[in-house]
Structure 1
Amino acid sequence: MSQDTISFQVNFKGNIIPVESWSLDNTIHELKEYLVENTGVPSEFQKLLYKSVLKDEKTLRECNFKSGIKITLMGSSKEEIQVVKEADSKITHQLSNKSRSKYAINPYKDVKRVEDLSQDYTFHRIEVIEHFPEPEKARKILERLKDDKGIRALMKKHKWNVGTLQELSPSERTILGFNRNRGQLISLRLRTDDMEGFRHYPEIRKVLLHELTHNVWSEHDDNFHRLNRQLNKEVVDLDWTASGGNKISNDEFYNSPEEDKVDEKAWQGGTFLLGGNSDRSKTLSKRELLAEAALIRLTKEEEELNEGCGSGKL
């Protein structure tokens, strides 16, 4: 094999797609076009990951591709995207004409006066699919999320209001949840695929935290994952009953100074991108640089949550 050609693998939803004898001068966009036939996912809906999100205009050489590597493809086919749209539409149409007209103007209007919302960071409406078995259990799960001490403290800290927290139809098996209009509506899959039971609460809460992150960041990029990991840590730290933290008052919590020092480094966020600032290597220690690199690498769970997210596809 020429030094300018390589072979590698693409992991897509547990399936391995071999890519043989590709030139290092091929672009990521050309790779996406090649994968359309193998996956049914349009190139514009594909996201390729190798250490970080790969940009279309970059060549394989610029992305440091080597023979034998495995990259990850995330994306949904047009059919899967249409399923999400139809699910959203079906549940929305279950609302009465009167209720829909209220939400078209303001998703919170029938719950609180708009000027009072800033003091009431919460989910202002709960909806389940009434014709499914045991709707009362589904409602209890959503109510538990709403009343979760960590979630409540987290939403207050970030000043988030969500119009509707609703159950997503379990027939939409490729989707775990989605966030519409940055918090107007968050929909979560509560039931198992066979509809014989309900998913574990910690799993559902992780999906909720994922979708809450879309209140700030639309794309599953480095900024998104940095904030999402921050929320997963905060939801424990802010729930003093679960984490063993120290309660100062009804609304304030604190952890050890050492934890605060680590948080300041680990979760400082917003604008840092891989390769975005070569001077960082001069100002950060090797340990700090390794810590930042670790933050960018996605875990298997994060990849699965990305694949199961319908936000941005609606």
Structure 2
Amino acid sequence: MREIDAHFDAYEHLKHLPREAEALHMLRKAASMVKPMMRKRGWKVGTLAEFLPDEPQLLGLNINRTERILIRLRYHHDSRQFLSMEQVTDTLLHELSHIIFGPHNADFNNLWNELRDEHQSLLMKGYTGEGFLSQGQKLGGRRVPLDEMRRQARIAAEKRKATTNANAGGHRLGGSHVARGIDMRKVIADAASRRSSITEGCASNSAEAGRLVHQQEQEGFRTRAEQDDANDLAIAQALQDLMYEEEMARLGAPTGSGGLTWDPANGLSFDS
């Protein structure tokens, strides 16, 4: 059964490469990780596709904003090995930012920062995107309108604000301490390193874009998005969490007790 109100209409993996099923799974997993942010903004993309350009530094490409997004899944030197899900998801967030802004300017970076911060917030709350292979669910048989979700988030944030003191140093994400064994300074350093490589590896608006798309289209195998690509209950809860964080930030109130902090000037940072 086709997915209702799909955020991606179809996926395309490269049919001539090894581990095809895993490549398709990775595309769908990456899509599931970003759907809450897409739903929040009303974004839809025609096709999410794997590409493996000859240029080893190229990681992603956005075509006509919402027509097609291409992302690298595999290492250039060994197509049997896949990049990390963190790398792939971050690249996808970068290419989604091109829906609104073309050039890699300050506005673009601000939007990419916002998406990255929201993604990190959801990870800390336990959102994994794993529901994309389970039975799709809708709240009460229908999707809750965004305006109603935002209203509920605003009420919850105002209630929380009334019982706590304002936090002067930005708001904390996740509502809990970082899991034991995770070096958050390394996480942040890795994210900064990925930012540089992804920006340099973006072929959007380049002279090579047409050639890269043609090459991918010749080698891609298309899979239409199905109902089991969407778990509406999980996505709706994640979106509610994002809206709650947004309302708490607007009110200048704390949302948790340790871990990471976020503020508009610095984005995600370690709460030392």
Q: TM-score, normalised by structure 1?
A: 0.45
**Partner Cα distance (2:168, 2:9) in 1:** 32
CA change 1:299–1:312 in 2 (3 A) is same
1:162 to 37, 45, 48: 45
**Candidates 211, 218, 233, aligned match of 2:95:** 211
Distance 1:186 1:125 in 2: 11
Question: Which residue is equivalent to 1:187?
Answer: 70
Which whole-Å deviations, capped at 9, do the CAs of 1:173-204 have from their partners, x for residues lacking one? 12101100002100000011221311011110
Paired position in structure 2 for 1:147: 32
Pick closer, same or farther for the CA change 1:121–1:196 going to 2, 3 Å: closer
Per the alignment, residue 220 of structure 1 pairs with 104
Q: 1:120 to 1:192 in 2, by over 3 A?
A: same
Q: CA deviation at 1:160?
A: 0.4
Tell whether the 8 Å contact from 1:170 to 1:190 is kept in structure 2 after alignment.
no
Q: In 1, Cα distance between the equivalents of 2:75 and 2:117?
A: 26
> Which whole-Å CA distance do the structure 2 matches of 1:299 and 1:145 have between them?
20
> CA 1:120–1:261 in structure 2 vs 1: closer, same or farther (change >3 Å)?
farther
Secondary structure of the structure 2 residue equivalent to 1:242: coil
Structure with the larger RCO, 1 or 2 (CA within 8 Å, 6+ apart): 2
Query: Structure 1 residue aligned with 2:198, among 287, 299, 305?
Result: 305
User: 1:261 deviation in Å?
Assistant: 9.1
Letter in 2 for 1:211: E
Cα displacement string for residues 286-314 of structure 1 (whole angstroms, at most 9, x for unaligned residues): xxxxxxxxxxxx94432221110001113
The structure 2 residue matched to 1:128, chosen from 13, 19, 24, is: 13
| 1:242 is the counterpart of 2:98 | no
Could you tell me whether the CA contact under 8 Å between 1:192 and 1:198 is conserved in 2?
yes
Alpha-carbon distance in structure 2 between the residues aligned to 1:220 and 1:138: 28
Partner of 1:35: none
Q: Could you tell me how far apart the structure 1 residues matched to 2:103 and 2:204 are? A: 9
Could you say what secondary structure the match of 1:125 adopts?
Answer: strand
Alignment map for 1:1-314 (pairs within 5 Å) = 120-148=5-33, 151-193=34-76, 194-238=78-122, 241-242=125-126, 252=149, 262=170, 299-313=192-206, 314=209
Q: Letter of the 1:127 partner, please give it.
A: E
SS at match of 1:124: strand
Distance 1:205 1:186 in 2: 12
TM-score, normalization by structure 2:
0.51
Q: What SS class does the counterpart of residue 166 from structure 1 fall into?
A: strand
Structure (1/2) with the larger helix percentage: 2
Alpha-carbon deviations, 1:147-185, whole Å to 9, x = none?
22xx11100001100100000115331210110000210
Sequence identity (%): 28
Tell me: CA distance 1:129–1:259, structure 2 relative to 1, closer, same or farther (3 Å): farther
8 A Cα contact 1:177 1:188, kept in partner: yes
> Using a 3 Å threshold, how does the CA distance of structure 1 residues 262 and 177 change in structure 2: closer, same or farther?
same
Secondary structure, aligned partner of 2:14:
coil
- Where do 5+ consecutive residues of structure 1 fail to align? 1-110, 113-118, 264-297
* Amino acid across the alignment from 2:84: H
Any conservation in 1 of the 2:87–2:194 contact (CA below 8 Å)? no
Q: What per-residue deviation string (whole Å, max 9, x for no partner) do you get for residues 22-48 of structure 1?
A: xxxxxxxxxxxxxxxxxxxxxxxxxxx
In the aligned structure 2, how far is the partner of 1:197 from the partner of 1:207? 17
- What is the Cα deviation at residue 134 of structure 1? 1.2
Structure 2 residue runs of 5 or longer lacking an equivalent are 129-137, 172-190, 210-272
Q: Any idea what the Cα deviations from partners look like across 1:118-164, whole Å, max 9, x if unmatched? A: x725111100111111111100001112222xx11100001100100
Distance in 1 of aligned mates of 2:41 and 2:167: 20
CA shift in 2, pair 1:310/1:143, >3 Å:
same
